[in-house]
């Protein structure tokens, strides 16, 4: 949904009242992903979703300029557990440029994964593509 407030009102049994009353024991995962999707879209990024029986589910796969960025949104304390992300990163042929996990934690880099606090999502913006750049699509690995 484009509006997180409407999402909560429409299908989450008025969960916004629990949030406003300080009850943070609820599962914020889907709400947080929706908020982050809104922000990424407002930043001008095109959002794609990845789900595979073999690899798992990724929240966002973003074509950012000439790069492919993976973005995971984590609401819990175990934000360094991300099996699907690890599975996709293990495929060398896919040449993923950058990997971000937005979480409750602080800024950190571990195994080429950049962990950022949630508020940092506002700084993830599209890259400038130089004029005259020619694109060649390589689908040989598909």
The helix (run of H) or strand (run of E) holding residue 7 is helix 4-11
Is residue 65 one of the residues assigned to a domain?
Answer: yes
By the 8 A CB rule, do 33 and 59 touch?
A: yes
- Mean pLDDT for the stretch of residues 38-64: 92
Report the range of poorest mean pLDDT among 19-28, 59-68, 105-114: 19-28
- Name the residue with higher pLDDT: 116 or 30: 116
Which residues, in sequence order, are CB contacts of 63 under 8 Å at separation 6+?
Answer: 46, 48
Is the predicted pLDDT of residue 141 greater than 90, yes or no? no
The pLDDT of 106-126, averaged and rounded, is: 95
In order of 96, 124, 135, the CA distances from 64 in angstroms are 11, 10, 13
Q: Is residue 111 part of a domain?
A: yes
Does residue 53 belong to any structural domain of this protein?
A: yes
What is the pLDDT at residue 130? Answer: 65
Task: From residue 72, give the alpha-carbon distance in Å to each of 10, 49, 90, 112, 122.
Answer: 25, 11, 16, 14, 15
Is the confidence at residue 1, as pLDDT, over 60? no
Does some domain include residue 132? no
Contact assessment for residue 79 and residue 107, using Cβ atoms and an 8 Å cutoff: no
Indicate if the pLDDT at residue 9 is higher than 70.
no
**Assigned domain for 78 exists:** yes
**Structural domain boundaries, residue 116:** 27-123
First to last CA, the chain: 31
Kindly indicate the confidence band of residue 20, based on its pLDDT and cuts at 50, 70 and 90.
Answer: confident
Find the CATH number of the domain harbouring 110: 3.40.1350.10
Bridge-based pairing of strands 47-52 and 108-110 is unpaired
Is 90 a residue whose pLDDT tops 80? yes
- What is the domain count for the chain? 1
pLDDT exceeds 60 at position 64: yes
Does a structural domain hold residue 137?
no
- Give CA–CA dist 112/98, Å, rounded: 8
């Amino acid at each position: 949904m484009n509006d997180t407030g409407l999402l909560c009102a429409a299908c989450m049994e008025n969960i916004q009242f629990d949030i406003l009353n300080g009850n943070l024991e609820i599962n914020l995962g889907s709400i947080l992903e929706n908020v982050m999707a809104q922000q990424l879209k407002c930043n001008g990024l095109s959002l794609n979703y990845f789900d595979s029986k073999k690899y798992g589910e990724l929240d966002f796969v973003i074509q950012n300029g000439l790069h492919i960025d993976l973005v995971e949104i984590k609401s819990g304390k175990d934000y360094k557990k991300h099996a699907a992300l690890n599975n996709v990163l293990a495929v060398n042929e896919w040449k993923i440029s950058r990997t971000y996990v937005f979480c409750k934690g602080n800024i950190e880099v571990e195994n080429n994964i950049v962990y950022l606090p949630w508020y940092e999502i506002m700084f993830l913006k599209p890259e400038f593509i130089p004029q005259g750049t020619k694109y060649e699509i390589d689908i040989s690995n598909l």
